[in-house]
């Protein structure tokens, strides 16, 4: 479905941006949502430092002392002009079925258990999914698949992910995107991928005490994790492990701890509607990744 620009809507008396009610809390928000406005799950504030270049991203990510810092700084990032323009234009144009809702319109931070043993690495937020709801894999068909799978595996308290205030919680699992902004055509440029990499790298550093497995959704996520591992000084098998559904690559940290990278076809509609990825296949890959992340040998 093509997006349709919203016209003829309400105009505030002060001439400022239109504020629409959140679909669950009913609190009014502008689109994109300013940091610190009260959006569910938003940990940024008007004082959160903003990255405006790749060098800024690297500096702010490295200086982040905890996951809350990474989440806050990454959700106000403006380092990639093309992605900033696209995500914010989508937030104004909107998809017709969501024209009565505010759009997050900012980068999507990681989500889940801070003490996770498994990290799920995806590609990027969907234009009318996380870019609308403010939470990864929330509000689109890809999220319907991955969260249903996590629920079947017993690590999500519910099978649906509708909005950032729906009460969803993960146990032992954290999710992150290789690129934090929704890209045109779901295809970030190499320079945009590289500029965003320090956010994911810092997440892996800050979860080093517990994360022992990474489930990569798609070849893009697989490659991003391998890049992060190399930048962290981890030992990566040579030749470089090739992505495949159910593929496993051991990544050895300098302290000798092995983090198991597991491949899974992406939960995109292109894969799920054509049968390339079935529920059984998703469940098998997720079960394998969870077993390895918990130190349990695969069956």
**Res 148 pLDDT > 80:** yes
**Res 183 pLDDT > 70:** yes
Evaluate whether 99 touches 235 at the Cβ level (below 8 Å): no
Q: How many CA atoms lie within 13 A of 202 on its CB side?
A: 24
Query: What percent of the chain has a predicted confidence (pLDDT) above 90?
Result: 93
* Residue 17: per-residue pLDDT: 81
Per-residue pLDDT, averaged over 38-56, amounts to 98
Q: Which of 142, 143, 151, 152 is nearest to 170 (CA)?
A: 151
Who's near 169: CB < 8 A, 6+ residues apart?
A: 156, 157
Q: Structure pTM? A: 0.93
Per-residue model confidence as pLDDT tens digits over 210-224:
999 999 999 999 999
Rg, Å, the chain Cα set: 19
Structure tokens of 156? 């999500």
Query: What percent of the chain has a predicted confidence (pLDDT) above 70?
Result: 94
Structure tokens of 219? 């070849």
Structure tokens of 231? 């930048």
**Res 4 pLDDT > 70:** no
Distance, in Å, from the CA atom of 126 to the CA atom of 197, rounded to the nearest integer, reads 18
* Residue 297: per-residue pLDDT: 66
Look at the alpha carbons of 95, 96, 98, 102 in this order and tell me if their dihedral is positive or negative.
positive
Per-residue model confidence as pLDDT tens digits over 225-237:
999 999 999 999 9
Distance, in Å, from the CA atom of 30 to the CA atom of 24, rounded to the nearest integer, reads 15
> Number of H helices and number of E strands within the chain?
9, 8
Residue 2: count other Cβ atoms within 10 Å of its Cβ: 6
Nearest-5° angle of CA 299, CA 278, CA 222? 70
**Res 125 pLDDT > 70:** yes
* Residue 111: per-residue pLDDT: 96
Per-residue model confidence as pLDDT tens digits over 5-34:
333 334 454 556 899 999 999 999 999 999
Per-residue model confidence as pLDDT tens digits over 229-258:
999 999 999 999 999 999 999 999 999 999
**Res 265 pLDDT > 50:** yes
Evaluate whether 161 touches 108 at the Cβ level (below 8 Å): no
Q: Which of 15-29, 73-87, 176-190 has the lowest mean pLDDT?
A: 15-29
pLDDT band of residue 3 (cuts 50, 70, 90) is very low
**How far from 88 is each of 70, 102, 211, 238, CA to CA, in Å?**
21, 12, 33, 41
């Amino acid at each position: 479905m093509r997006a349709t620009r919203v016209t003829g809507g309400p105009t505030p008396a002060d001439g400022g941006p239109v504020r629409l009610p959140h679909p669950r809390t009913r609190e009014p928000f502008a689109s994109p949502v300013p940091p610190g406005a009260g959006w569910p799950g938003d940990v940024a504030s008007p004082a959160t430092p903003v990255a405006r270049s790749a060098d800024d991203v690297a500096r702010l990510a490295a200086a982040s002392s905890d996951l809350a810092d990474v989440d806050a700084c990454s959700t106000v990032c403006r380092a990639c002009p093309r992605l900033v323009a696209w995500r914010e234009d989508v937030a104004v144009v909107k998809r017709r079925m969501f024209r009565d809702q505010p759009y997050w319109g900012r980068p999507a931070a990681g989500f889940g258990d801070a003490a996770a043993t498994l990290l799920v690495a995806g590609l990027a937020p969907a234009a009318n999914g996380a870019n609308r709801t403010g939470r990864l894999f929330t509000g689109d068909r890809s999220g319907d698949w991955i969260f249903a799978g996590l629920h079947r595996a017993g690590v999500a308290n519910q099978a649906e992910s509708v909005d950032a205030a729906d009460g969803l919680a993960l146990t032992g699992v954290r999710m992150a995107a290789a690129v934090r902004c929704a890209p045109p055509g779901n295809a970030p440029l190499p320079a945009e991928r590289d500029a965003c990499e320090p956010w994911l790298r810092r997440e892996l550093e800050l979860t080093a005490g517990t994360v022992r497995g990474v489930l990569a959704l798609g070849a893009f996520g697989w490659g991003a994790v391998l890049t992060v591992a190399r930048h962290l000084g981890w030992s990566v098998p040579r030749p470089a492990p090739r992505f495949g559904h159910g593929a496993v690559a051991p990544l050895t940290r300098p302290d000798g701890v092995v983090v198991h990278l597991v491949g899974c076809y992406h939960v995109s509609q292109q894969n799920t509607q054509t049968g390339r990825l079935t529920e059984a296949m998703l469940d098998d890959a997720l079960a394998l990744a969870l077993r390895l992340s918990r130190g349990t040998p695969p069956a």
